[in-house]
Amino acid sequence: MANAKEANFKALKNCKRDDYLQLDDYFMIIAIVTAQRSKDPSTQVGAVIVNEENRIVGVGYNGFPQHCSDDVFPWHKPEDVGSDDPLQHKKLYVVHAEANAILNSNCANLKNTRIYTTLFPCNECTKLILQKGISKIYYISDKYADKPEFQASKIMLDAAGKEYKKHKPTINEFTINIEQTSMMFLFSCGNMLQMPPKAEKKKKLQPFVSTIDPSRHAEALKQLEDRHAEEARLAEIAAEEALEEEGEEEEDEEYSEELMENEDAIMIGRIDMAFPETTEEFADSELCYPPSYYTLSPKERLILLYVENFRHQYIINNPNRRPLVMALPNECKVQKFVCTTIRPTAFLHVPLIRNAEECAKFVADFIIYEPLEDMMSFSFVSSS
């Protein structure tokens, strides 16, 4: 029976390849790849924690804490930017890779695990490693061996009887091809893992093609500039006149006029109140609108004052731009319009302002309106 089983096993062919990654190389390469997530322009460090079953239980790289933006906090030392402010030092804010790997671990108990890190841990990370019971440390670089922080690390590790050793790779290079983009990790001089320099991408410059020929359209451009200048001058004069008139009137005074039969607009002071086309079907009766539709309330006049002030400041601050024209609806929805010019004008031509309601909100969203009477609540006189 035993001979039969042995014969069956001998009949199987073992096709296992011999150039597969060894475990220590595998985990160290993952640490190197993890380091590439770091935003630090000078030092990128990655760390991987592995348990006794050779399963990864934590990874980390050097970076800022959560909710601390990579675009706000410093990635430099004060002397690098010509500053003497100690708060400009990145070491005050960066969480090291080993600490992040411990904090990110998916298990509470890290006893008898081992950590693979691209840089020998500092004294603060070593404290965490000892406190969590990590038994072995594998590293690639020990470039800060002469600094007190790293000398203190070795003193603590020796006192605790923990093993730490420089990783000795079994392969010379490892290449990853991602969408025809080659990424190569080199095991070279002194067993130091290095990344090749990244090739700079050439920026594609889009050719700029002007649609205006100055020599051909010089006269048209001159006329356009003259027209804009004239519009700005007239708008400034109109704004000054409107401000003077507003100053002469009492704030609480109300103007009222009866709407003339078969007329679509009336003059109140020097402000026009125009009705849209929807008024034509009710033009035969004076009772088709509530009395409030024929008045200009103090709040409406206050809004007009804000509008004129805005337009006046806009002209002063932007003398070379086309002057604004404002038309302002009130709480009567689309039935009543007031404007800041002598004659009825069009709305402000801005793509984001698509209707009367948005225009009103643009100039006076902080004004508290009191609802006026609803036009539909009034009885209409039959034209018959």
**Catalytic annotation, pick one of 6, 52, 79, 98:** 98
Split at pLDDT 50, 70, 90, the class of 360 is low
Residue 380, pLDDT score: 42
Strands (E) in 75-198, as ranges, are 114-119, 136-141, 163-166, 173-178, 181-188, 192-194
**141-151 pLDDT per residue, tens:** 999 999 999 99
pLDDT at 284 over 80: no
**179-228 pLDDT per residue, tens:** 544 445 554 433 444 444 555 555 444 443 334 444 545 565 566 677 77
Domains of the chain, first to last = 23-166 (3.40.140.10), 266-365 (no CATH)
Q: Helix or strand or coil: residue 315?
A: helix
Residue 116, pLDDT score: 97
The three-point CA angle 284-288-291 to 5° equals 125
Across 337-366, b (16+ Cβ under 10 Å) vs e yields: bbbbbeeeeebbeeeebeebeebbebbbee
Question: DSSP class of residue 63?
Answer: B
Sequence-distant (6+) residues with CB within 8 A of 376 are none
Confirm whether 98 is a catalytic residue: yes
pTM: predicted TM-score of the whole model, two decimal places: 0.47
Residue 175, pLDDT score: 74
